[in-house]
A = this chain, B = another copy of it.
Amino acid sequence: MHEMSRAETLRFLSDGARTAKLATTLRDGAPHIVPVWFLIDNERLVFMTWHESVKARSLRRDSRIAICVDDDKPPFAFVAIQGRASISTDPGKRARFARLIAARYMGPTRAEEFGARNDIEGELVITVTPERIVARAELAN
């Protein structure tokens, strides 16, 4: 096992079409988890969500968030992040990230089609500033 450097961690998070699993705490204290498409922008994680989703409601109440991205092929690796989420409704930011995220996951030829679907009023852009990162590679050797 080895701890990833900051540069390795950022590369790992940006590699291919890996999804982020995102945990928030519900009003009653129970944990909630869901996968999201995301990007790394300026060493922060950016994803989008509908303003009435469970995670949007949770994050408006409490900005603390935990995120995990992993590689489930041997020898296995993962990055787990605890951070704070900030919420934006800015239309320019929404238009830009909707298309960038769509390009990452659906490829350049379908980026506009999928980007336009999420570039609508009510979609939020969430930016996560990491406060604690655990990043480990070669877990099973």
Chain A contacts to B: CB under 8 angstroms: 16-19, 21-25, 29-35, 62, 64-68, 70, 72-74, 76, 78, 80, 82, 105-106, 114, 140
Contacts and interface: CB of A to CB of B under 8 A. Distances in A.
Contacts of A22: 33
B17 A66 contact: no
B33 A29 contact: no
A29 B29 contact: yes
A25 B22 CA distance: 13
Contact of A68 (B30, B33, B82): B33
A23 B22 CA distance: 9
Given A30-B25, A33-B33, A80-B34, A19 B66 contact: no
A32 to B, nearest CB: 5
The 5 closest A-B pairs by CB, nearest first: A23-B23, A21-B21, A23-B31, A33-B66, A31-B66
Contact of A140 (B64, B73, B78, B106): B106
A25 B31 CA distance: 6
Nearest to A139: B35
